[in-house]
Chain A
């Protein structure tokens, strides 16, 4: 029906969650954007880091 790869699902998840976190956890527009981007980078960076860790474990 509608299938996303592991990575694209993680990116879509990161986008939506970061938008909500940014808006709800900060007070000014500038801070919201900065915090949203920070969350997005942490989400996606965490996925990539975890992927490399699993690759190293598998070797």
Chain B
């Protein structure tokens, strides 16, 4: 007769409890979104912060130089809304771009489609970087 499976392992398994939000954690996370790499630099992860900043900023700038489309807030097509959210992930880069009227609102050349993707992905990479900075701030990652 088969024995019952041991259920004690589930009760002893460590459960991750979210740490309380502190002003420092929120500040680091917000700054990590606003300025790419800043979350790591603030926590003295120098080379990681520099590499993240260079990669994300360069990707965004390449996208602008390739005449990529910069999305505005909209309630139209779903892909347009997602494009805006992706762009917004770049934080200050997006805000400055919109403030100075940089970028294009419509694709004028075929290669500009690459630029549009570069700008969106730069924002998404910055969100990943922001989450990583948060993990470091709460001690989940070294």
Enumerate chain A interface residues (CB-CB to B < 8 A): 1-4, 9, 12-13, 15-17, 19-21, 23-24, 27
Contact = CB atoms under 8 A, between A and B. Distances in A.
A24 B121 contact: no
A1 B129 CA distance: 29
Looking at chain B, what size class is its interface with the partner chain? 20 to 34
A9 B114 contact: yes
A13 B56 contact: no
Given A13-B118, A24-B129, A1 B65 contact: yes
B92 interface: no
Interface in B108-138: 111, 114, 117-118, 121-122, 125, 128-129, 131-132
21 contacts: A2-B62, A3-B111, A4-B62, A4-B111, A4-B114, A9-B66, A12-B62, A13-B117, A13-B118, A16-B55, A16-B56, A16-B125, A17-B125, A20-B56, A20-B128, A20-B129, A23-B52, A23-B132, A24-B129, A24-B131, A27-B142
Q: Secondary structure of the B side of the interface?
A: helix
A40 to B, nearest CB: 12
Interface of B: 48, 51-52, 55-56, 58-59, 62, 65-67, 111, 114, 117-118, 121-122, 125, 128-129, 131-132, 141-142
A3 B16 CA distance: 48
B66 A1 contact: yes
Given A16-B56, A16-B59, A24 B128 contact: yes
